[in-house]
Amino acid sequence: MSRTAWNTVNGEGTGAAFELFFGYPDEKAFADTVEQLVADKVASGIAAQDPTLWGPDAEDESGKRLGWVSLSESSQSLVTDIAALEVEFRQRGMTKVVLCGMGGSSLAPEVICAADGVELDVLDSSDPDFVRSALEDRLDETVVVVSSKSGGTVETDSQKRAFEKAFTDAGIEPTERIVVVTDPGSPLEKSAREAGYRVFLADPAVGGRYSALTAFGLVPSGLAGANIETLLEEAEAIRPALETDSVDNPGLRLGALLGAANRAGVDKVVLANAGAGFAGLGDWAEQLIAESTGKDGKGILPVVVDALDSPNFVPSTPDEVLATFGPRFVFGPELRPASGWGASVDAPLGAQMLLWEYATAVAGRVIGINPFDQPDVESAKAAAREMLDGGGSTPTPLFVEGPVTVYASEGWLPEGTATVADAVAALLGVLDGEHGYVSVQAYLDRHRDAALASVRDSLAVRTGRPVTFGWGPRFLHSTGQYHKGGPATGVYLQVTGQPEADLAVPDRPFTFQEFLTAQAVGDGQVLARKGRPVLRLHVSSPGDLHVVREALA
Ligand SMILES: O=P(O)(O)OC[C@H]1O[C@H](O)[C@H](O)[C@@H](O)[C@@H]1O
């Protein structure tokens, strides 16, 4: 493999603060890709919302999903209303904002608020212990934002019901505390208007994962006290550079890099924070990249790591692009991506968001997929619904060892396997050494059980392969699309558990724990039907989770 050549483009003279370093082992593949994109006027085409850029099959969806390109301007009108409501809530003594929402309806506000150091309690779970802890903390000072584009996401509806009941039981009028963000005409808009809630309508021409600068990103963030005006200004400043058909366009360059690398078989991107004040950007970009590209057996798998010295970043594998966000340029003679492909993006948060959105749309064109649909997300939802309706087949455990009950999909676990350690070793044993990856999927309380996330690093060291870690059901609305629709290269390790106590979903025929279990089992069944190896470790109590952690070390 030839040596990486490092190049840079920056916003000097344009009024925008950005710098993109990028490196590649194959100058020709990269340069040809960029030149073709410039010749095809892809940047100005995206800006003009041309739906034909991703081919005839994608045209229908693209025609409804390109509104994000001008949000930095059009969303300015929201700022005053949000600021006025924030002042009103503050004067009424509200100190806490809870956001009920999944995927594109919660990941952007999470990173925006963390970047500004303001508190936002993101409730993107159906874990009963997690939901209960959100309900029990300062309810008398809580404002709840219920965000759902479709208005039909069951997690979000369940969380809303739980808060409505908690407020009512506490003698608090829900209409004084609940704010709804949704698309015009959704069932949630209808029910919210009937209930008398405040409603913010978002731009329906923007898909969830591109909605950071719509009401979905701005309302919860602004109510929590984040500076949303600056965020929009940052995006607006980089916009001209992203809309120009030029080889210096950072969106074209980053998209070309991800796309050309993918075509060369380098199909993962490892995302690390290099000194940016917004560590959570990786989780947001993960949904954008995985859900946009992971389909039709193709895709780019985002691997989010905690630190620059995390395994998968150092050392990396030959199927990974290394990407950083933040001011530190980390690549040099001591650190080169094993693949030769790397990128480093330094820009303020609003600019990062618009830049990665452009780059993802561009990469989609280079790879040859439709970056605006998510065809495999629905299958997991349908399987969960079937389980809840009593229609799905209840899985039979293979064996029990101490506090852990073990389940496995068919066809890969050697007969007679009787210990957790052997089952884990067998799963890792079927991992492909060239393109394989491990996906750990923990359907647990992501605050209480946070320590489990350390298994990402231990498994990466143990296998020498890319490892992702996702909390269920949060990841179902993010990397879940890639796992089912992308290349069949993963092995899947689900971790489920008994909660401290279950919780009813008001006026629904299931509890939160029943719903959570149905989601894990349903998604596992969909993966298994697609021939992916799935191992599920179920722990009998939260206190026993360390047994699983040790087995995966
Ligand atoms: O905002 P909602 O309609 O509730 O959708 C929340 C999430 O649901 C699905 O999983 C989609 O695949 C995501 O792209 C979306 O962000």
Specify the pairing of strand 268-273 against strand 198-201: unpaired
How far is Cα 213 from Cα 230, in angstroms, rounded to an integer?
11
Integer-rounded Cα radius of gyration of the chain: 23
Task: Give per-residue pLDDT as tens, 169-189.
Answer: 999 999 999 999 999 999 999
**pLDDT value for 394:** 82
Report whether 176 contacts 82 (CB < 8 A).
no
**247 Cα distance to chain centroid:** 29
Task: Give per-residue pLDDT as tens, 214-263.
Answer: 999 999 999 999 999 999 999 999 999 999 999 999 999 999 999 999 99
Task: Give per-residue pLDDT as tens, 268-318.
Answer: 999 999 999 999 999 999 999 999 999 999 999 999 999 999 999 999 999
Distances (CA, A) of 232 to 217, 237, 270: 11, 9, 27
Token pair belonging to 531 = 């021939």
- Phi and psi at 201, nearest 5°, equal -95, 140
How far is Cα 217 from Cα 215, in angstroms, rounded to an integer?
5
**pLDDT value for 250:** 97
Q: What is the mean pLDDT of residues 58-80?
A: 97
Q: Is 436 in the pocket of ligand 1 (CB under 6 A)?
A: no
pLDDT band at residue 123 under the 50/70/90 scheme: very high
Token pair belonging to 537 = 């470790």
CATH of domain 377-552: 3.40.50.10490
What's the 519 CA to ligand 1 centre distance in angstroms? 15
Atom index in ligand 1 nearest the CA of residue 155 equals: 4
- Residues in a beta bridge with 23: 6, 342
Q: Is 376 in the pocket of ligand 1 (CB under 6 A)?
A: no
How far is Cα 210 from Cα 222, in angstroms, rounded to an integer?
18
Which residues, other chains included, contact 240 with Cβ-Cβ below 8 Å and sequence gap of 6+?
14, 16
Name the DSSP class of 448: T
**CA nearest 197: which of 164, 222, 238, 154?**
164
Model's pTM, two decimal places?
A: 0.97
Atom index in ligand 1 nearest the CA of residue 381 equals: 10
**pLDDT value for 381:** 84
Report whether 325 contacts 348 (CB < 8 A).
no
The yes-or-no verdict on residue 266 having pLDDT over 50 is yes
- Phi and psi at 102, nearest 5°, equal -120, 155
Q: Is 374 in the pocket of ligand 1 (CB under 6 A)?
A: yes
Which residues, other chains included, contact 455 with Cβ-Cβ below 8 Å and sequence gap of 6+?
440, 469, 548, 549, 552, 553
Q: What is the mean pLDDT of residues 523-549?
A: 97
The yes-or-no verdict on residue 380 having pLDDT over 90 is no
Residues 5-67+245-367: name the CATH superfamily: Glucose-6-phosphate isomerase like protein; domain 1 (3.40.50.10490)
Q: What is the mean pLDDT of residues 425-444?
A: 98
Which residues, other chains included, contact 255 with Cβ-Cβ below 8 Å and sequence gap of 6+?
37, 358, 359, 360, 361, 362, 363, 365, 366
Q: For the chain, where do the domains classified as CATH 3.40.50.10490 start and end?
A: 5-67+245-367, 75-231, 377-552
**pLDDT value for 1:** 46
The yes-or-no verdict on residue 373 having pLDDT over 60 is yes
| Span 75-231 CATH architecture | 3-Layer(aba) Sandwich (3.40)
Specify the pairing of strand 404-408 against strand 399-401: antiparallel
**pLDDT value for 282:** 98
Token pair belonging to 127 = 């874990």
How far is Cα 284 from Cα 261, in angstroms, rounded to an integer?
21
Q: What is the average pLDDT value for the chain, to the nearest integer?
A: 96
Task: Give per-residue pLDDT as tens, 199-219.
Answer: 999 999 999 999 999 999 999
Specify the pairing of strand 399-401 against strand 342-346: unpaired
The yes-or-no verdict on residue 10 having pLDDT over 70 is yes
Q: Is 536 in the pocket of ligand 1 (CB under 6 A)?
A: no
Name the residue at shortest CA distance from atom 8 of ligand 1. Answer: 477
DSSP H helical ranges for 389-479:
420-429, 455-463
The yes-or-no verdict on residue 541 having pLDDT over 90 is yes
The best mutation among 64, 68, 102 to test binding of ligand 1, ranked by most ligand atoms within 8 Å of the C-beta, falls on 102
How far is Cα 9 from Cα 17, in angstroms, rounded to an integer?
11
Task: Give per-residue pLDDT as tens, 81-99.
Answer: 999 999 999 999 999 999 9
